[in-house]
Amino acid sequence: MITRSNLAEQLREYQIRSKHDWASVSFFSSTSNLTSSRIRPILIIVLSCFVVTGSMLWSLLYGNWLF
């Protein structure tokens, strides 16, 4: 028979499980977002440096600019 105490116990168990599941999901998603948000600007800066350096080397070697 379903009683109020059984329902309360089931609700508590469900809340504990869902809280644990949500914590693990939010941890992994925030970590990946944090990582990608930090890596993207660094990659842009590094690639820009390669392009500028390559262009300068090209002009020194061949006497004309690529761009």
| pLDDT mean values, one per 10 residues, the chain (67 residues) | 81 80 55 66 89 85 68
Exposed / middle / buried, residue 26 (Cβ in 10 Å: 0-12, 13-18, 19+) = exposed
Residue pair 55/67 in contact (Cβ under 8 Å)? The answer is yes
pLDDT value, residue 13: 86
In whole angstroms, give the CA distance from residue 16 to residue 64. Answer: 68
Q: Is 61 helix (H, G, I), strand (E, B) or coil?
A: helix
59 contacts 65 by C-beta, under 8 angstroms: yes
Please give the pLDDT value at position 39: 83
Confidence at residue 14, expressed as pLDDT on a 0 to 100 scale = 85
